[in-house]
Amino acid sequence: MSTVEEGLRAQVRNIEATYGRPIAAWIDVIRESGKTKHAEIVAMLKTEHGMTHGSANRVALIGRDALAASQATDVAPATDATDQLYSGKKAALRPTHELLMTIIHGFGSDVEVAPKRGYLSLRRKKQFAMLQPAAGHVDVGLILKRVPETDRLESAATFNAMFTHRVRVARVTEVNAELVGWLRQAYERAG
């Protein structure tokens, strides 16, 4: 029996296949339209792009969430944003974050760090990962389409619709070859 997360992922895959664009391109369409209200976005997707109501509704929900996150982007440099993210109770997670960033920057000099409200987005030509401090661990969001989930590489469907997978990293010692492999794979696919 499929879970809600599997159903949402299947719906997004079907939308992408049916309408010929990845979800990120639909988010760009919404951004470029200038529309911000859910009903306006649904109507635009239906009338201008021929989407069914269900598809337009799902794309509008994902798009509005993505645009809200990007509008909340902190304009401070990544180091200032990192200091803010890892302050207070989350300061103990900073060494895990630093190790992950050292590894990611080791993949190549083309990694762009884009501070968002609550996390850091990691990009090449397109976004491939994110790091977000949480209660007792660092969430590593990854874009790894068609990579099966495992106990550790879990679905990100209920975590953040912009990512396919999430790995929870509670300690520096959990940054191992398996996690580095997933990060490298996401990095390489984004170039």
What is the predicted pLDDT for the residue at 2?
52
Which region holds residue 34: left if phi is over 0, alpha if psi is between -120 and 50, else beta? left
| Cα 63 to Cα 162: distance, rounded to the nearest angstrom | 9
In single-letter form, the type of residue at position 113 comes to: V
SS3 state at 154? strand
DSSP-derived 3-state class of residue 119: strand
Cα–Cα dist 56/39, whole Å: 10
Question: Residues with Cβ < 8 Å from 64, sequence gap 6 or more?
Answer: 30, 36, 38, 41
* Beta-strand pair 112-116/119-123: antiparallel
The residue whose two tokens read 């990691």 is 122
- Cα Rg of the chain (Å, integer): 17
Cα 52 vs. chain centroid, distance in angstroms?
25
92: which 2 tokens? 């103990």
**pLDDT value of position 4:** 63
Identity (one letter) of the amino acid at 187?
Answer: Y
pLDDT at 12: 83
Q: How far apart are CA 78 and CA 85, in angstroms?
A: 10
* 3-state secondary structure (DSSP) of residue 25: helix
Say what the pLDDT of residue 71 is. 56
Question: What gap in Å lies between CA 14 and CA 59, rounded to an integer?
Answer: 11
Distance CA 145, CA 131 (A): 18
The rounded average pLDDT for each run of 10 residues, N- to C-terminus, in the chain (191 residues) is: 67 89 84 88 94 91 73 52 89 92 90 89 94 95 95 92 94 92 95 85
